[in-house]
Amino acid sequence: MRVVGIESSCDETGVAIYDSEEGLLADGLYSQVTLHEQYGGVVPELASRDHVRKTLPLLREVMAEAQTSAAAIDGVAYTAGPGLVGALLVGAAIGHGMAWALGVPAIAVHHMEGHLLAPMLEAKPPAFPFVALLVSGGHTQLVRVEGVGAYEVLGGTVDDAVGEAFDKTAKMLGLGYPGGPAIARLAEQGRPDRFRFPRPMTNRPGLDFSFSGLKTFALNTWREHRHDEQTRSDIARAFQDAVVDTMAIKCKRVLGQTGLKRLVVAGGVSANVTLRQRLAELTHALNAEVFYPRPAFCTDNGAMIAYAGFRRLEAGQREPLAFGVKPRWPLDSLRAL
């Protein structure tokens, strides 16, 4: 089965083609980062318009790269939520239009299920069941995963998502958007012992997170000190160390509570090298294993949507001709396969 995947939930247009026999045939990404940079964050209407401009040319490029004819396509998957409503509607409309024209089924994919299943595209995919730490710009969740669609959300953020905390802290420090990679780069020059930030919600039981206090802590620290490069780097370092430490503490806790030995980490923040080092140490000490998507598939991409769509199409699911999108869509409301 050969499936086209279209991602357009936020500021990245992603298109990919996954084949159940041959694997990933091609994937293309058009990032809107430069478009939104000057505004310090994503402008929804500009995002939608750019998806309109970029999706079809990208689709043609990817089809050519995969050397596939339209007749060889067996289904079209698109991100139906969560995300920006206008941006989602572009991918949904193009996906449905293509499916209808080709006479093949369309399938709506949950963006976070896409992230969660992205490690399945790697050479050594995780076996079910596992625990997933989903860390992106809009979500921070710990999920018990029994199979595709069988998700129990065990913890989440009570305020900002972790990627959002990176982005907001970066903005305060005068760094560009997106903030995660900018903070990570700066933190390399930061000294570990200059500032110590709190590890929110780690002293009480439970698997929830809170990151908005850390952002305020960073802001106050920045205001109290001279605005020199070293201080900026030291704050980036202290912030990243606190975030990574907090996530590692919760991962240890969730593995202990569930008794599971496999941890999947996905979403934009899973590209963070310090987080990966820390979780490698943790899982090694616990005799557990950790799985990630390749760095390019940590952030938004079409490949994860093509793959998740394939799994659902293969199980017989498809969308009716009338379609909508779901800007808000709880992960644990999905149908298990």
Residues that bind ligand KG4 (CB under 6 A): 10, 136-138, 163, 166-167, 178-181, 184, 267-269, 271-272, 299-300
Q: How far is the CB of 75 from ligand KG4 (least distance, A)?
A: 23
Name which of 160, 7, 315, 268 is nearest 334 in CA terms.
315
* C-alpha torsion 87→75→153→332, nearest 10: 90
Instruction: Confirm if 175 and 190 have CB atoms less than 8 A apart.
Output: no
CB 146 within 8 A of CB 241: no
Of 66 and 209, the one with the shorter C-beta distance to ligand KG4 is 209
State how far the Cα of 225 lies from the Cα of 186, in Å rounded to an integer: 17
Please state the closest distance from residue 269 (CB atom) to ligand KG4, in A.
4
Total of residues contacting Zn ion (CB under 5 A): 2
Q: Is 7 among the residues that bind Zn ion (CB under 5 A)?
A: no
CB of 287 to ligand KG4, least distance (A): 27
- Residue with structure tokens 């969660």? 116
Site string for Zn ion, 166-205 (x = CB under 5 A): ----------------------------------------
Q: Look at residue 82 and give the partner it binds from Zn ion, ligand KG4, none, a contact being a CB closer than 5 to 8 Å depending on partner kind.
A: none
Closest distance to ligand KG4 from the beta carbon of 12 (Å)? 7
- Continuous H helices in 173-228: 179-187, 212-224
Which among 102-110, 133-141, 177-185, 202-210 is the span making contact with Zn ion, rule CB under 5 A?
133-141
What residue ranges bind Zn ion (CB under 5 A)? 136, 300
